[in-house]
Amino acid sequence: MFNKNELKAKIETLAEEMNPDMVKFLGDLIRIQSYTSQERPAVDRTLAELHKIGCEEVWVDSAGNALGRIGKGKRIIMFNAHLDTNEVSDASQWAHPPLEPAIEDGILYGLGASDCKAGVAAIVYGAAILKKLGLLEDISVVVMGATLEEDAEGFALRSLVERDGLKPECVLLAEATDLTLRRGHRGRCEVHIRTKGKAVHASTPHLGENAIVKMAPVIEALEAMNGHLPEHPIFGPGTQVVSLIAGPHTPNSVPDWCEVALDRRLVPGETAESIVEGILQVVGPLGASVEIPIQPVKSHTGLQLDGPSFYPGWLVDEDAEIIQVGKETCEALWQQAPKVDVWKFSTDGTYSAGVAGIPTLGFGPQEEPYVHTAMDQVNLEKLKKAAMFYALYPVIYQEVTGAKSK
């Protein structure tokens, strides 16, 4: 048993002491361009920091994630935040150049600050404080600077768990939550719907069969499915949007194929099979075929991680232990219970909670409105608070779960 007030005071002091190093680390990460599959330099920079904070072990797994372990316990709590960022579409929209971190009035601006490099800084420095506290017994914390999240969330985490055999007991995701808790999100998947025709010269259309014309009622039927998709009490109804269309690049022929891509947002419980089946029932009679495409994914280590473009939704029970521990952590640090909500976007939790069933919780300093915008930023006071949360969480988790097993 520990005295929570003493511990809180200690964590505050350490967070204050380490703050300049944490902010410098975040600035360095922002200076390093790290688009999906090109994370190597950001991984190397993170490994250096994990060495510096005194991790017992620092390594890179087959998928190229940056990993560091604090403690020697067999039970593992994972801290996860990703190093890849989405791409800048128009740098002229940015008040500061995206790769040049700028601090104004306690706010740090830069590409990936809110998604998700401030999360990486928070978990690394949460672990750094935790290391100094020296309170871990049968638990160790594995810090994961994750790769491939923007294009294929969950794929790199899946590889770490299933290929390299790391089995965390719970996963904390430092994505944007503005210092509140998140316990799930909708899933998503891409579906390809295809019609076939018969190609002939465009001067004799009556001899052919036009696949684009066949697609017209299929598109209408797909759009009309909205309002009839599976619903969830928290997430509401699933939705779908026809987002791409393709056919042969031969303007003087009757097209013999046409394919649309559908972006489908799912509620927890929907499976790849149930999605395909539900769509096929509607468009099958119109002569269309349905499949979930395989998404090509290559890690910066050269590992091919291709898999179905299917990312299940998930929702952790409100009474779950990991959420209780999250609340207790916030209460111990700031004397108030945090809001518990769900995310609008998808995260690595699609694998940890959605596929592997590992209890997963979101907590991060970043704010959702700045994610993927030219206003990308993080509040540095919130960053420091998030590091404090990550320092205390494992101690309370160990206390709560250990007490139960005794």
Report the nearest approach of Zn ion to the CB of residue 175 (Å). 5
CA atoms of 146 and 397, how far apart (whole Å): 23
Taking a C-beta distance cutoff of 8 angstroms, is the pair 93, 159 a contact? Answer: no
Q: Is 84 annotated as catalytic?
A: yes
CA atoms of 395 and 375, how far apart (whole Å): 35
Among the options 84, 178, 256, 376, which is catalytic?
A: 84
Report the nearest approach of Zn ion to the CB of residue 219 (Å). 31
Ranges within 158-177 binding Zn ion (CB under 5 A): 175
Site size toward Zn ion (CB under 5 A) is: 3
Nearer to Zn ion, 83 or 262 (CB): 83
Taking a C-beta distance cutoff of 8 angstroms, is the pair 99, 364 a contact? Answer: no
Nearer to Zn ion, 115 or 376 (CB): 115
Stretch that binds Zn ion, among 107-115, 189-197, 298-306, 312-320 (CB under 5 A): 107-115
Taking a C-beta distance cutoff of 8 angstroms, is the pair 269, 6 a contact? Answer: no
Q: What is the 3-state secondary structure (H, E, C) of 308-326?
A: ECEECCEECCCCCHHHHHH
Nearer to Zn ion, 80 or 401 (CB): 80
β pairing state of 139-146 and 310-311: unpaired
Q: Taking the CB of residue 340, how many other CB atoms lie within 10 A of it?
A: 17
Nearer to Zn ion, 253 or 379 (CB): 379
Asked if 116 is part of the footprint of Zn ion (rule: CB under 5 A), the reply reads: yes
C-alpha closest to that of 27 among 89, 148, 110? 110
Asked if 123 is part of the footprint of Zn ion (rule: CB under 5 A), the reply reads: no
Report the nearest approach of Zn ion to the CB of residue 125 (Å). 18
Q: Which helix (H) or strand (E) holds 231?
A: strand 231-232
CA atoms of 301 and 160, how far apart (whole Å): 13
Among the options 39, 61, 115, 149, which is catalytic?
A: 149
Tell me the residue length of the chain: 406
Amino acid at 294: I
Nearer to Zn ion, 69 or 117 (CB): 117
CA atoms of 332 and 81, how far apart (whole Å): 24
Among 39, 84, 115, 270, binds Zn ion (CB under 5 A): 115
Nearer to Zn ion, 88 or 199 (CB): 88
- HSE-up of 26 (CA within 13 Å, CB side)? 38
Nearer to Zn ion, 82 or 214 (CB): 82
Amino acid at 94: W
Ranges within 205-264 binding Zn ion (CB under 5 A): none
Taking a C-beta distance cutoff of 8 angstroms, is the pair 255, 248 a contact? Answer: yes
Report the nearest approach of Zn ion to the CB of residue 149 (Å). 6
Report the nearest approach of Zn ion to the CB of residue 85 (Å). 9
Backbone region of residue 16 per phi and psi (left: phi > 0; alpha: psi in -120 to 50; beta: other values): alpha
Binding mask 332-361 for Zn ion (x = CB under 5 A): ------------------------------
Q: Is 209 annotated as catalytic?
A: no
Report the nearest approach of Zn ion to the CB of residue 388 (Å). 21
Report the nearest approach of Zn ion to the CB of residue 173 (Å). 9
Task: Calculate the alpha carbon distances from 184 to 130, 363, 395 in Å.
Answer: 26, 12, 24
Nearer to Zn ion, 49 or 175 (CB): 175
CA atoms of 293 and 98, how far apart (whole Å): 33
CA atoms of 355 and 351, how far apart (whole Å): 5
260 - beta bridge partners? Answer: 193, 245
- Burial of 297 by CB count in 10 Å (0-12 exposed, 13-18 middle, 19+ buried)? buried
Report the nearest approach of Zn ion to the CB of residue 261 (Å). 22
**Active-site residues: which are they?**
84, 149
Which residues here bind Zn ion, judged by CB under 5 A? 115-116, 175
